[in-house]
Structures are given as C-alpha cells and as structure tokens.
Chain A
Amino acid sequence: MNPFASINIQSLPGPDDTRRVVLQNGITVLVRPNPESASVVISGYLQAGSLFESDEKAGLAYFTATALMRGTARRSFQEIFDALESAGASLGLGCSVHTASFGGRALAEDLPLLLELLAESLCEPVFPAEYIERMRAHIMTSLAIRAQDTADMASLTFDRLLFPGHPYGRADEGYPETIAAITRDDIVAFHRRHYGPRQMVLVITGGISPDAALEQVEKALGSFANPDQQLPPVLPEVKPLLKTIRQHVKIPGKSQADLVIGSLGPRRNSDDYLPISLGNNILGQFGMMGRIGDVVREQAGLAYYASTSLNGWIESGSWEVSAGVNPDNLTRATDLILQELKHYIQDGISLEEMQDSQANFIGRLPLSLESNSGVANALLNLERFQLGLDYYRRYPGLVAAVTPEQALEASRRYLDPRHLVIASAGSKKS
C-alpha cells in the first residue's frame, strides 16, 4: 500500500501559495487564492471567548458576539443585512471558549463589502437596547429548545462533569438564569475590554489575489485599535477523572434517548493528538462509524448513529462516544460501548486497521480542501494551533509514520475504561 499514491502534495496549501502577514495593529492575515473560484470566503477569530465571563454571566461572550451585527455607528440592523443579502452574501459571528469567531462569503467582487461590514461590526457596534431585549427572547427560546433536545442535553451534561469548574464545562450559549441576568451594560463593557486587533486572525480564500485581498483588509481593519484590550487569563488546570461518573437527565415524552460516554483527550497541538486521532478513527469513525458503529448499529441494530469524536482544544480536549437509542436500550448500548472501549484499550489495534486509518486520513485530504470554506477552515486551524504553514504538506508523512503501538500507548494516557463520564438524556426507561 502506498498511502501517498493519489495525493499531489504540491496541490495542498503550503508556504508558497499561502500569504501570511501580520498587520501593524497585530491582526494576522492569511490569504490563499483560488483563481477558479468566483467567490470568496472569510473566516477568523478574536480573543473574546467565553473564558472571560463569570459563571453568573455565562453566555455573555456569546450574547455579545451575536449582538455585534444588530446595528453599528453607520448602519441600522436592516441596513447591514440589506447590503449583505442584496449582494447574495452572508456574514455571521459566534463564540466558543477561547475565541469569538466570524465567517462570511460573497461573490469575489463583494469582498470589500464583506470586510467593511465585518470591520463596522467589530469596531463600532452600538448594541441598540431594543435589539438586546429581542435577542434575549431569541436566546431564551433556543435554550428552551435545547432543554428538550436529548443530544444537546447529554452533551452539555458530559462537558459539565468532565470539566468541573472549568470554562470548558460551561455552555457557551449560557443558561436561562444567566441570560436573564446579562445587561446591555455588561455587553458594552465586554466588547470594550475584549474586542481588539491583538491576536486576531483573518483568513481569506477564493477568487482574489493576495495583494488585492491584503489591500482591502488594510483599508477595512488597519486602523482597528483597542488600547484597553485584555488578553486571556490563565485557565484552571484540567484534572483527570478519578472514578466513573454517571448522570441521566430526564426529559419526558421523548422516544429516543441520547448517550455520551468518554474521557479527557489530548490538546490539539499535543504530540498525542495525531496517534490518538488515527486510533479514534478505528474506534468509532472508519467505514460505517468504526468498531462502535459495527457493534451498536450493524450487529445489535440498536441505534441509527453510534460514533466517536476526538475534540482537541488549546488546554485540553475530550474523547467522546455518542449514540441515540431507544430508552429501553440505554443500558444495553452503554454496556456494549464500555466493552468496546475495554477491548480497544486492552487489545489495541492491528496493523491492518492502522493502515486503513492512515489511508483514509491521507486520501480524504483533497476532499476536505476542495472548497474555499474547506481551505479557510484548514488555514485557521494552522494558525490557531500553531501547526506551521507547511503542515498539510508534511501531514501525509506524519500520518504514515504512526504505528499501532504509538496510537495505543497515547490512547492509554487518556482513555481509562474505569474512569469515564457516562451522561444520558431522555425519557425514563419504560
């Protein structure tokens, strides 16, 4: 097997076709042109995530990010969206633990518009009081819908139990009581303290030359300044689990229950990340959801979905198995998953399985990078986790070098079947 056979390494993003520039105010800009494309994608983040907020005001960073486009010093909410939608463009903001993020797309000729609206939203939002109240009602509704969603509630419970007292354990969107407590002043103050150009990253891909893109960025965001911008605090240490913790959230009247089982995982830029990622693929992704899918879905017919995910963040990560099952089958599905986790950790993986997993990782690279948004996302990861501009060129070699033993050894550092979080949500067993 030659895992490199179908890959033209030079066609992957690399230092020779990606321009990386740091503006004077601290914004890092990455541009990769795609002359075939009639459109552009922008994507990026600022250091304004939920790690800055208190437990009592959980959801403040998210509320702030999503309120930025409700009106600026130059345009009303309707004017902002009239400009965007008339051009067939889109722009949106969101938030996670470490960063507030933005993403948009437009026909290539409308990139100046996209950047102008981004700059206005970041630098000059006015947070109209009526919109703050309107958004509060929207967030409350989405939280009420979340409270009825078995998958969301199982996942939320899992995070809370895995990361107690840590921002990773909190819901970015907040909770009804914390959203009710957030004032417009809180939002204005959060914006003033945390929205600034330092450590901001902006990626542009698509039908635009790097020179033209950089000129437009400089024009829109070159004067973005915030001398009061506070940089992220040191986060509390993430502590490993000392025992298995189980919790079920009762949601009456639901015909399906959701289950999340797992443990801590490696940081994204840990050396353990790639070996475990290859192992995780075997455990719960490869083919029709790997070994877990085979046992829970294919053999037992218990679930429409049963798979695993490895989520590597800046400080830590999680390694999760998720499944949706009939409430009567919750115990059986849990037992089957636990058996598979034990089997994986005790017996490891075969060379054949590892070679399959490696071929899959390398072979799917062109597919993940075919679109402007795929490339933008890839470049953003390079910058966020400091992987280096040549990472995708090195990637096939890095993947091919991992042995089954390395994957198992790394996996054992995180996944211990005696120390897990088992979270579920749904109707009570009948």
Chain B
Amino acid sequence: MSSLVETKLPNGLTVHLKEIHTAPLISHWVWYRVGLRNEIPGKTGLSHWVEHMQFKGTPQMPAGVLDKAISRDGGFWNAFTYLDWTAYFETMPADKIDLALNLESERMTESLFDLDEVESEGTVIISEREGNENEPLFRLGEAIQAAAFQRHPYRFEVIGEMEDLHTIQRDDLYNHYRAHYVPANAVLAMAGDFDSTEMLKKIAAHYNRIPAGQPPAPPEIQEALPAGEQRVEVSGPGETSYLTLAYRAPVAAARDFFALTVVDSLLSGPSGLNMFGGSGISNKTSRLYRALVEKELAVSINGALQATIDPYLYSLTATVHPGRSAADVLTALDEQIDRLQQSPVAEEEIRRAVKQARALFAYGSENITNQAFWLGYAEMFATYDWFTSYVQTLETITPADVQHAAQTWLQAGRRVTGIYTPNGRQEAFA
C-alpha cells in the first residue's frame, strides 16, 4: 500500500510524500518554478546555467565533494531545466537519504557561484550547445520556435542564445538564483521506503530554517495568436530532410489539452508522462505512420505535446523518405489532419488510447525515481490533481472533443511549417 501526504511548511515550501515500500530506495526531488519562461532577451539560458552552478558547491559541501558523496552511497542525481521549471533529484538507498536532504536544503539558498567556477561552467555549456547544434532537428526546432513566438521567451531555446552565453555575468546568475530559489516558489517531492511522519520531521528540521522569501511575480507576456501560417527553412550538412509542423497548443490546465493528447495519440502514437523507466509503445498503427511510413513518404513520424503554463507548441516531425520530398510529406500530413477535422473518430479509438495511457502508467510506476517525478511535475504548470486525474480526464474525452480540438488547434493558419534541407539540395516550398 502506498499513502500520500500533501502539506506546506510555514515558509511556504510545498511538500508531497508518497510511501512506497517495494525497494529500499528513496527519491528526493526539489522543483522550482523557474525556467526559460522567466527569462528576458539578452539573458537567455540563465535558468539552465544556474542549474549547472547548483552542482558547484556550498560552504559546507564544496564542489567535487557532493558528487563523490552521492556516488559513494550508491545514489544517482541529476537536474533538468525546462520551459517553465527547474528540478533536482537524488535517488538514494533509503538509509542514506539524509545526504540528499542536507544537499538540497543547503543549495536552495547557499550555493557559492564562485567566479572561476562560473567561467569554467560557461564553457561547458557552450560545448553542450555546440553538441546540440550538431543535430539537424535542434537547428530546425530553434528556427521554428523563433518564428512561432513574437514576444514570449518560448521563442528561445532553454540552453540560451550563444551570444548570451558569452555575455552573461556571475551576478546575473546569482541574482536569478536568489530571486527564484525560495521555499514559496518550490515543491519538495519524495517517494520511497520511509515513514511519512518521521520523514516530515526530518524535512522540517532541514528546511524550516530557510526564510520564506518572496517569489517574483509571474511574468505576464501577451503573445497574440499567430496571424497566419509561417514557413521556415534551415539547411545544413547531411543527406536527410526533415519536416516539422508546429501548432500553437493549449495550456496544460485546459480541457483541450487532454483532447489534444488524444489527437496526438491517434495521429502519432501514444506517449505517456514517464520521465524514467517507461520505454514507449510503438506507433506503427497510428494514422500518420500508416499514411506516411507505410506509404513510403517518410521513414519515421513522431509527435510532441508539452504540458506548459502558457500556450506552447504541439509539433509533428517526419523524417522524409530518401526518395521523396518534404512537400510530398506535407500534402499527406495535411490530408490526415483534414480527415480528423472533418469526421469524428470512433469511440473505440479513444478507448484504445486510454488503455495505452494506463499501460504506460503501470510501466512508469515500477521506478521510484519516476514516482517521485510524478509527485512534483504537475505542480509546475497546474496542480497535483491534474496528474492524479490524468487518466480519468482522458476517459471523458469524446469523439466530438477530439474533432473540436483538431479543428481549433490544428489550423494551418496557426502553425509554423519547418523544413530541414541538406546542403545543395533543391527543396522546400518551391
């Protein structure tokens, strides 16, 4: 049996605990509501760089001590920076969890941001970006985001603009850190082999001393709906063309987000909410696989819908068959989208998508790290209820909802169509 505790410390830190006694492990996460969304032009990449600096030591735990301490105890740890949030986790043998509590409570406010470390980490991040730029789909995605948004920071990559990575200073990073890393802007999530009452006492002992602080007001960014279809073309090395359609998507909290989740499942195959341990279900019977891959127009197709605070993008990406053009793929894709807009889907197709979502949950729940991930994730863009009622909400989606979502969100006038063309090849929108 597993039980769930939801509470808030006096300083505003939200705490979610779930006891799971299947393995002698505990996964401890701290989430902050800060990401690309909280950045401004000229200083993009701050949140991600701050995340890197969080591994560079505090007064009591200097750089190089932390990673060794975690490894020595057989734990693993990592961090992620996304559009709307930054999260840190340690998964440890249950009797070693104090190390994670010490570490996370300390680096909530006491990270050093040593100047030499800042500079050295800057070059590491530039190297990370150079690695990303090797990938055609990173370059295409970057161009699409820039075209899809006029004002919203979502128009940049989380890693930041290269120019900004060369000009950001230590104080920019430190101020960003101190502004956003406060208890009231954070969620602590923990799953695993512990007693909740005892664990709450430990958590209070570690975190109560941190002053509440005042999280910055959420950014208010007015981003108009796209005025019409935009087309971007990126060229570069290679022999393979890619086509991406990126539509403005609903926010995660909206009912339409769930309808679009079903749309995505029907078009490009199921994808769940697992970050760890839940390898996917294939998509060979999805509508687009059958229309594009089985018809030898593309060699792969996938969809991506992200749960976000502000409207982001729903994208479909095809790897174009070597004997075909991106324009051929676009025509076939549009036919399938049109079909979804014109005729209601069978109830059976929705039931199938729901069963797939259930199976993905079963797979993801084997993994303690993934269980703890789930406890905090939805708090970053909605509430925890969003997660607990995810499958039930999917079950309420009707064929009419699916058709309406396709009609509303998959309008060509609200999308960016992007093509990656190998150097020297005539392509694209000719």
Contact = CB atoms under 8 A, between A and B. Distances in A.
Interface of A: 5-8, 11, 36-39, 77-78, 81-82, 84-90, 92, 105-107, 134, 137-138, 140-142, 144-145, 147-150, 251-256, 286-288, 294, 297-305, 324-326, 356, 359-367, 369-373
Interface in B353-378: 355-360, 362-363, 365-368
A293 to B, nearest CB: 9
B281 A359 contact: no
Contacts of A144: 238-240, 322
Interface size class of B (residues with CB under 8 A): 35 or more
B358 A88 contact: yes
Nearest to B74: A363
A361 B368 CA distance: 19
B71 A360 contact: yes
A27 to B, nearest CB: 24
B67 interface: yes
Contacts of A90: 279-282
In this complex, the member of A8, A254, A372 whose beta carbon has the largest number of chain B beta carbons within 10 angstroms is A254
B322 A370 contact: no
B91 to A, nearest CB: 6
B238 A366 contact: no
Given A92-B282, A371-B367, A256 B74 contact: no
Contacts of A140: 322
Given A5-B95, A84-B282, A370-B367, A303 B124 contact: yes
Given A302-B123, A360-B74, 18 more contacts: A5-B95, A6-B93, A6-B95, A7-B93, A39-B359, A78-B284, A78-B285, A81-B282, A81-B285, A85-B352, A137-B296, A304-B127, A356-B72, A360-B72, A363-B72, A363-B73, A365-B74, A370-B366
Nearest to A11: B24
A85 B362 contact: no
Contacts of B67: 287-288
By Cβ-Cβ distance, the 5 closest A-B pairs, closest first, are: A363-B74, A88-B359, A301-B123, A287-B67, A253-B237
Interface string B295-320: 01001100000000000000000010
B255 interface: no
A145 B74 contact: no
A324 B124 contact: no
B130 A326 contact: yes
A60 B69 CA distance: 47
B72 A85 contact: no
28 contacts: A6-B74, A6-B95, A82-B285, A84-B282, A85-B269, A85-B283, A88-B270, A88-B359, A107-B362, A137-B322, A141-B299, A145-B240, A147-B239, A148-B237, A148-B238, A148-B240, A253-B237, A300-B120, A302-B127, A303-B127, A304-B131, A305-B131, A326-B127, A363-B75, A364-B74, A365-B74, A366-B74, A371-B277
A142 B119 CA distance: 38
B384 interface: no
A216 to B, nearest CB: 19
Interface in B2-24: 22-24
A140 B319 CA distance: 12
In this complex, the member of B55, B95, B322 whose beta carbon has the largest number of chain A beta carbons within 10 angstroms is B322
Contacts of A38: 362, 365
Interface of B: 22-25, 55, 63-64, 67-68, 70-76, 91, 93-96, 119-128, 130-131, 133-134, 136, 236-240, 269-270, 277, 279-285, 290, 294, 296, 299-300, 319, 321-323, 352, 355-360, 362-363, 365-368, 423
A89 B127 contact: no
B284 A77 contact: yes
Contacts of A256: 127, 130-131, 133-134
In this complex, the member of B95, B136, B279 whose beta carbon has the largest number of chain A beta carbons within 10 angstroms is B279
Contacts of A359: 72-74
A39 B25 CA distance: 20
Nearest to A252: B237
Contacts of B282: 81, 84-85, 90, 92
A214 to B, nearest CB: 22
B96 A6 contact: yes
Contacts of B269: 85
In this complex, the member of A144, A148, A367 whose beta carbon has the largest number of chain B beta carbons within 10 angstroms is A367
Given A88-B359, A145-B240, A359-B72, A298 B281 contact: no
B238 A88 contact: no
A371 B91 contact: no
Contacts of B299: 137-138, 141-142
Contact of B124 (A6, A89, A145, A301): A301
Contacts of B24: 6, 8, 11, 366
In this complex, the member of A140, A149, A304, A326 whose beta carbon has the largest number of chain B beta carbons within 10 angstroms is A304
A81 B74 CA distance: 39
A88 B72 contact: no
Nearest to A251: B237
A133 B284 CA distance: 17
A299 B121 CA distance: 9
A140 B352 CA distance: 33
B240 to A, nearest CB: 5
A298 B296 contact: no
A246 B251 CA distance: 52
Contacts of A145: 238, 240
A88 B356 contact: yes
A84 to B, nearest CB: 7
B307 to A, nearest CB: 21
Contacts of B74: 6, 359-367
Given A81-B282, A363-B75, A304 B124 contact: yes
A298 B64 CA distance: 9
Contacts of A360: 71-72, 74
